[in-house]
Amino acid sequence: MIVALDALLSKRNVTLAARELDMQTPALSRLLGQMREEFGDPLFVRSGRGLVPTPFAEALRPKVQALAAAIDDLFQPTIASRQSEPFDPGWNVPSSIAVPPLAMRPANLLDGQPSPAEVAANLDRVGQSTSPHDRLARNIGVLGIAGGGHGRPLTMEEAEEAMAIVLAGEADPIQTGALFGMMRVRGATAPELAGFVRAMQGHVAARFEGRFGRTHASGPASRLEADLDWPCFTSPNYHNPPWFFHAAKLVAQAGHRVLLHGNTGSGPAAGRYEVVAAALGIPVCSTADDIGAALATQRIAYVPLTALAPQIHRLIGLHRLTQFRNAALEAVHLLRPAGGHTSLLGVTKPSHRELHRDTARLLGLPHISVLGSVRDVAQYTPFRPATIHRLIDGKPNDLALPSRMAEPPATPRPRGTSLEYWQGVWTGAMRDSRAERIIVGTAAFALFSLPGTTGGGFDEAMDRADYLWKQRQSR
């Protein structure tokens, strides 16, 4: 009950909590009924945004979190340097790339600052020639911080300006918190996310001298290009093996250039995907030259966000202080640093799937595939129904995929680390039919999403992916 209550307090949704606990929704509902009887309190009440904890449940939250963590510790490996790991310390390692602190410029505000009404009256007088603090304050004021709370969402241009100031390190810390906090309350719009993405692309382009980022007519001839953009930004608490790395390598061995980029938080497991990529023979790159060479010779590369854009990495890492996902994490999935014919996105929230597609349309991306996923990474499970929200030549196109097969039984795992097991499935040393179907299905989803690759639909893509899996090279 403690673990279930912790999940419910975190997700505020019975279905999502049950999915995290790997149990049926009715079973968790019955367990919630037991908890209400045990505690003599409703614990949660329903609202338009899901379950809202009662004051009694909120008071229990710190104790419940501590107890749930202690219970998890009983089943997790321990190492001398830390009390416990979410799982395998073989790939839960700190990032090898040093990341500077989030750059900011405090405003040093003095007593006697203007009132909100005075600020609202001055917003329209703030021009491009004023300081970054004033320009960012104007955009925050538009959201409703000033002017009596009667705000509106930012336009794409306003959002781009605001994010550019933050990424340049010119924002006051209070302004950064106000910007993301207000957007969290309102909910980000497609124009706001598109503006953030454009600012991120400009920031990355400046760091890599134009070889990444937005394409310009006068851009350098050596600009890097991939066929498939595959963002993989997941929580350090994501416990399932990353089978999508195997699928990405299959697509690369089929002749398509694949660029994976992402991170796994900013804590002690931040370097997980660097270990995972290296273990599979995928080059881990931090410079434009390294990425270009990897795409040319091996047709696949993984770029940690810490190398691509440390400032964006630090913005996402603010989650540890705020305990909410800010709009930077939503936008970074559409960064598409090396172009590509299409992007593969995994999106958890149903309402955000069309939001990301609408954002892609505003950015002028002709092709994209957004997959409903339990985590924010494109990994397809063929024994569950799924919907793909696509852009095809810039036009929305939804595809509902039914469950394609019964779920294979879980394979008992031998002694050894999760990393060794994950590698063994690729090499054939371990046989896991469930994992293999996820890998083949995810590779099929990627091939199907590439324009002009499979004219025969998803069935042809599955056959092609199955052939690639059987003919795979071990390195």
Residue whose pair of structure tokens reads 């599955």 in the numeric block: 462
- Rounded to two decimals, what is the model's pTM? 0.76
Higher pLDDT, 374 or 52: 52
Query: Given this model, what pLDDT does residue 372 score?
Result: 87
Query: Given this model, what pLDDT does residue 315 score?
Result: 95
Where does residue 297 rank: exposed (0-12), middle (13-18), buried (19+ CB within 10 A)? exposed
If you average pLDDT over every residue of the chain, what do you get?
A: 85
> What's the pLDDT tens digit per position in 275-316?
999 999 999 999 999 999 999 999 999 999 999 999 999 999
Contact 450, 341 (CB under 8 A): yes
CB atoms within 10 A of CB 394: 12
> What's the pLDDT tens digit per position in 345-377?
999 888 888 999 999 999 999 999 999 887 789
Window from 27-36, 62-71, 119-128, 258-267 with minimum mean pLDDT:
119-128
Per-residue pLDDT band for 150 (boundaries 50, 70, 90) equals low
The tokens for 312 are 């964006």
Query: Given this model, what pLDDT does residue 44 score?
Result: 86
Query: Given this model, what pLDDT does residue 239 score?
Result: 76
Query: Given this model, what pLDDT does residue 218 score?
Result: 37
Among candidate residues 427, 434, 379, the one with its CA nearest the CA of residue 405: 434
Question: What is the share, in percent, of the chain residues with pLDDT greater than 70?
Answer: 87
Higher pLDDT, 320 or 146: 320
Among candidate residues 387, 365, 371, the one with its CA nearest the CA of residue 232: 371
Query: Given this model, what pLDDT does residue 64 score?
Result: 87
Please report, to the nearest 10 degrees, the dihedral formed by the alpha carbons of residues 128, 129, 133, 136 taken in order. 0
C-alpha to C-alpha distance for 16 and 25, rounded to whole angstroms: 9
